[in-house]
């Protein structure tokens, strides 16, 4: 069975065609700058063959047609007909409390994705557009949606509620939903496999540290708490997001700087975090390099590390212990010194990193010392594979 995994954004479509017999990636690619000048597609096939198509791509339908043509092209393609694609798995950012698992697309499901767009205005409409274009271009294929929020639906009420007037929850569904669920679930399950135990018998802290970053407490295979909230703004210091701040800062700054709600939202989501503090970059590589001779870059780095450490400590308390910890995503998989700094001085909690084993990038590996009570791992995340597996299972049933 061949499954196409789609991540449709507002101006881009990322895709992977996966052969589910052996879970190998036949081809992966990206359509970018949809609707703007300089639109293009790039694709890399499993045999190493790479190509680029530069052409006008006014909308997602034209973009998806180009994807299908690139996959089925007589010379450059990897399949002979679009009919070989048995199902399409789509990433959807926000499913609110309507979905705790992946589902086959129906009209009702599409209505719900549209309804939850109020909480993910940049993502859900683009995700839905991807679904509708694929329905049109591949009517034979089963369409499945996987939600970033679904894994966190297991959080208990006292964890997901905010201490605001209860009626705001009733009227506007204001509560914690979390994000990166597919990634947290994947790496937690991989860790259980590495340890050789059932994930249901483990307490795991998963650190997804990318441009967007979140930490999750995974208790007995389920998300118990996570650092992102109603939106991805809450929690860790991120590339351009501030993460946790005193909420009183919001009206204070709006008043002092004469900002509208939209401008304040932009300031916290796009102008803050590593970029806002350092003033040089949102990219952790630049921050690490800059920290050598720039005090603000050093401060941004230290704040990032401290916030992760604080969440780890609080989740050990929340779960009454921890058996394993895992680092994933761009920063988590690659930033050697940063992993060391996060794990430093956590030996009271039984967390001891082995500096030698830790001297590695992007590999699934255990990096704790032999006497560390808590096992520490790096696991490269693979959200596409989770989406493909969920899709396969739903098609089979
Ligand atoms: P997202 O998917 O959220 O856009 P990624 O998971 O791709 O983000 O992670 C991007 C981040 O990973 C960037 O901050 C980048 O600097 C960081 N990163 C990538 N490689 C390294 C590295 N070798 N050392 C430190 N940080 C790295």
CA distance linking residue 351 with residue 53, whole number of Å: 49
What are 146-191's pLDDT values in tens digits? 999 999 999 999 999 999 999 999 999 999 999 999 999 999 999 9
**Region 98-119 average pLDDT:** 96
pLDDT category at 225 given cuts 50, 70, 90 is: very high
For residue 94, report the phi and psi dihedrals to the nearest 5 degrees: -120, 120
**Domain boundary assignment for the chain:** 2-147, 196-383
The mean pLDDT value for 307-334 works out to 98
pLDDT tens digits along 226-245: 999 999 999 999 999 999 99
Average pLDDT, the chain: 96
Q: What was the pLDDT predicted at 121?
A: 86
pLDDT digits (tens, 9 = 90+) for 336-388: 999 999 999 999 999 999 999 999 999 999 999 999 999 999 999 999 999 99
- 8 A C-beta contact, residue 242 and residue 276: yes
**Is 65 a pocket residue for ligand 1 (Cβ < 6 Å)?**
no
- Report the nearest atom of ligand 1 relative to the CA of 213: 3
Q: Confirm whether 2-147 and 196-383 share one CATH topology.
A: yes
**How is domain 196-383 classified at the architecture level of CATH?**
2-Layer Sandwich (3.30)
For the segment 266-288, the average pLDDT, to the nearest whole number, is 97
Bridge partners for 54 per DSSP: 40
What value does the mean pLDDT take over residues 122-143? 95
Given this model, what pLDDT does residue 273 score? 98
Residues 310-313: contacts with CB under 8 Å, at least 24 apart = 311/215, 311/227, 311/235, 311/236, 312/205, 312/207, 312/215, 312/342, 312/346, 312/349, 312/351, 313/346, 313/349
Contact 377, 193 (CB under 8 A): no
CB of 330 closer than 8 Å to CB of 336: no
What distance in angstroms lies between residue 62's CA and the mean position of ligand 1's atoms?
30
89 C-alpha vs ligand 1 centroid, how far in Å? 25
- 122 pLDDT band (50/70/90 cuts)? confident
Would the pLDDT of 10 be above 90?
no
63 vs 65: CA distance, rounded Å: 5
Residue 397 confidence (pLDDT): 86
Taking CA atoms only, the protein residue closest to ligand 1 atom 19 is 330
| Strand 222-226 relative to strand 203-209, pairing | unpaired
266-291 b/e with 16+ CB inside 10 Å = b?
Answer: ebbbeebbbbbbbebbbbbebbbebb
- Asked whether 305 lines ligand 1 (CB < 6 A), one says no
pLDDT band, very low/low/confident/very high, at 309 (cuts 50, 70, 90): very high
Q: Ligand 1 within 6 A of 202 CB?
A: no
Task: Evaluate whether 150 touches 181 at the Cβ level (below 8 Å).
Answer: yes
Third-level CATH fold of 2-147 = Nucleotidyltransferase; domain 5 (3.30.420)
Name the helix (H) or strand (E) containing 222: strand 222-226
Q: Is the distance from CB of 70 to CB of 41 less than 8 angstroms?
A: yes
Predicted pLDDT at 216: 98
Q: Is 192 in the pocket of ligand 1 (CB under 6 A)?
A: no
Q: Which residues are annotated as a binding site for ATP?
A: 14, 208-212, 283-285, 330-334
- Residues forming the active site: 148
**Ligand 1 pocket, mutate which of 91, 328, 331 (most atoms under 8 A from CB):** 331
Residue corresponding to tokens 């061949």: 2
Residue 395: what pLDDT?
Answer: 96
Got the DSSP string for 121-141? Answer: TTTHHHHHHHHHHHHHH-TTS
pLDDT of residue 231: 93
């Amino acid at each position: 069975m061949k499954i196409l995994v789609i991540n449709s954004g507002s101006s881009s479509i990322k895709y992977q065609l996966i052969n589910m017999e052996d879970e190998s990636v036949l081809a992966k690619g990206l359509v970018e700058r949809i609707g703007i000048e300089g639109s293009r597609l790039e694709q890399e096939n499993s045999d190493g063959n790479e190509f680029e198509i530069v052409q006008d791509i006014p909308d997602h339908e034209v973009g998806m047609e180009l994807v299908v043509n690139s996959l089925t092209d007589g010379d450059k393609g990897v399949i002979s007909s679009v009919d070989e694609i048995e199902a399409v798995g789509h990433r959807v950012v926000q499913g609110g409390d309507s979905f705790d698992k992946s589902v086959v697309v129906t009209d009702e499901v599409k209505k719900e994705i549209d309804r939850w767009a109020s909480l993910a205005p940049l993502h859900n409409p683009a995700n839905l557009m991807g679904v509708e274009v694929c329905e049109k271009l591949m009517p034979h294929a089963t369409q499945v949606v996987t939600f970033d929020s679904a894994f966190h639906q297991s959080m208990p009420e006292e964890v997901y509620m905010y201490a605001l007037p209860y009626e705001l929850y009733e009227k506007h569904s204001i509560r914690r939903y979390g994000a990166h669920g597919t990634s947290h679930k994947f790496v937690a399950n991989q860790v259980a496999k590495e340890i050789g135990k059932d994930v249901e018998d483990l307490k795991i802290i998963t650190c997804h540290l990318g441009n967007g970053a979140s930490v999750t407490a995974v208790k007995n295979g389920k998300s118990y708490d996570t650092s992102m909230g109603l939106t991805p703004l809450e929690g860790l210091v991120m590339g351009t997001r501030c993460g946790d701040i005193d909420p009183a800062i919001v009206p204070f700054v709006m008043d002092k700087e004469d900002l509208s709600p939209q401008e304040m939202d932009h300031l916290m989501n796009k102008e803050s975090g590593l970029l806002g503090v350092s003033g040089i970059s949102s990219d952790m590589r630049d921050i690490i390099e800059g920290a050598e001779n720039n005090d603000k870059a050093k401060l941004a780095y230290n704040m990032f590390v401290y916030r992760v450490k604080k969440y780890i400590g609080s989740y050990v308390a929340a779960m009454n212990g921890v058996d394993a910890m895992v680092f994933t995503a761009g920063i988590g998989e690659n930033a050697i010194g940063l992993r060391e700094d996060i794990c430093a001085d956590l030996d009271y909690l039984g967390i001891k990193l082995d500096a030698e084993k830790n001297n590695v990038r992007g590999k699934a590996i255990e990096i704790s010392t032999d006497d560390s009570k808590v096992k520490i791992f790096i696991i490269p995340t693979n959200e596409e594979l989770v989406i493909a597996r969920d899709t396969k299972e739903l098609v089979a049933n």
